[in-house]
Amino acid sequence: MLTTTTTGRPRRALAVAALLVAVAAACLVSLLLGSNRLGLGTVLTALVDRSQDVGDVVWGSRVPRTVLGLLVGACMGVAGAVMQGQTRNPLADPGIFGVTAGAGLAVVIGLYVFDASSVLATLVLALVGAAVASVVVFSVAALGRGLSSPVPLAIAGTAVSALLIAATSYLVLADETTLAGYRIWVVGSLSGRSLTGITPALVFAVLGLLCAVANMRSLDTLALGTELATGLGESLLRARLVGLAAITLLTASAVALTGPIGFVGLTAPHLARALVGGGHRWLLPASGLVGAVVLLVCDVVGRLIAGTAEVEVGVVLTVLGGVAFVLIVRRGRMARL
């Protein structure tokens, strides 16, 4: 066992190093490519001297998109890995706990009641909505078979999500102003976003990452089964709460900045697991790196495929993520956690 772990460590370290190179390459591509074609020299000059930024393209658009793509992709990738580890469900993503739906409903209520559309207000509303939805799902699941099985969590999350989405639909259809604001936010896009208000989102994201790190050992133990995990002294209540906190903080931070971004949390952990295995000490950082690469690459694809117009990254991810979802279902060896 020791030999296997020792020989596998260099391979995993090499995979993580390769992912870091891929992240750097994705950032460079994100800065260089877009509907406005700029050369490498022009981009580098603009990065050093903002007065040389042609039409404020680099600092006004591409730098914010790249930074947000890194942050949101990493958050969703790690949140997806924690979610799949908590539920032992290879098809789980952060939306299954009602986190995304709760954040969306809170944002809509803010638009409908307070006309709150600033980044900071959206962040606070998304965090509160995600937290409330998570607590409700956790409480409903605990009333059934308790915490010994991940199935009640998944079922409760699906039911609560459906209810929250129905309430959101009612509010946006009842008011045109709310619908207009929600329509812009719900697409899930890096376009037109700025770095204003990113500091509080970054704080929440860091807290979420710390919770995910604190949950790593519990996730490895839960992978053995809840009965064996309990026999090894694992506190299921603590493991579920810490994991829930990580998912909530990471997803709320991402959703507040760019709107709901689907499929990153589903696909990134599977790609990372193929590279570094199932141990969460390596899986969590690898999932974050894969999520950042996937989101940045899909954003660049959306900029290029429509010429001067752009396809939002949420749309590109939905198309590619649907294909990935089918492949994950069909490949039995990827379905085992």
The answer to whether the beta carbons of residues 257 and 65 sit under 8 Å apart is no
Q: How far apart are CA 101 and CA 166, in angstroms?
A: 10
Give the CB-side neighbour count of residue 25, counting CA atoms within 13 A.
10
> So what's the pLDDT on residue 143?
72
Domain boundaries, the chain: 2-334
> So what's the pLDDT on residue 212?
95
- Angular region, 243: left φ>0, alpha ψ -120 to 50, beta rest: alpha
User: Which tokens in the block code for residue 254?
Assistant: 């991402």
Q: Phi then psi for 165, rounded to 5 degrees? A: -65, -40
Secondary structure (DSSP) of 179-202: HHHHHHHHT--STT--STTHHHHH
Q: What is the CATH number of domain 2-334?
A: 1.10.3470.10
Q: In a structure prediction context, what are the per-residue pLDDT tens digits for the chain, which is 337 residues long?
A: 344 455 567 888 999 999 999 999 999 999 888 777 777 788 888 888 777 776 678 888 888 899 999 999 999 999 999 988 888 877 777 777 788 888 888 988 988 888 877 767 877 888 888 888 888 887 887 775 556 666 777 788 888 889 999 999 898 888 887 777 777 777 777 877 777 778 888 898 999 999 999 999 999 898 887 778 888 778 888 888 899 889 888 988 888 888 888 788 888 998 899 899 889 999 999 999 999 999 999 998 888 886 666 788 888 888 877 777 677 667 654 444 5
Q: How far apart are CA 282 and CA 88, in angstroms?
A: 17
The answer to whether the beta carbons of residues 207 and 249 sit under 8 Å apart is yes
CA 175 to chain centre: 29
> So what's the pLDDT on residue 257?
83
H or E element in which residue 15 lies? helix 2-32
> So what's the pLDDT on residue 4?
44
User: Which tokens in the block code for residue 242?
Assistant: 């810490």
CA 297 to chain centre: 15
In eight-state DSSP terms, residue 56 is G
pLDDT digit string, tens, across residues 60-91 = 888 889 999 999 999 999 999 998 888 887 77
> So what's the pLDDT on residue 181?
74
Q: How far apart are CA 253 and CA 194, in angstroms?
A: 14
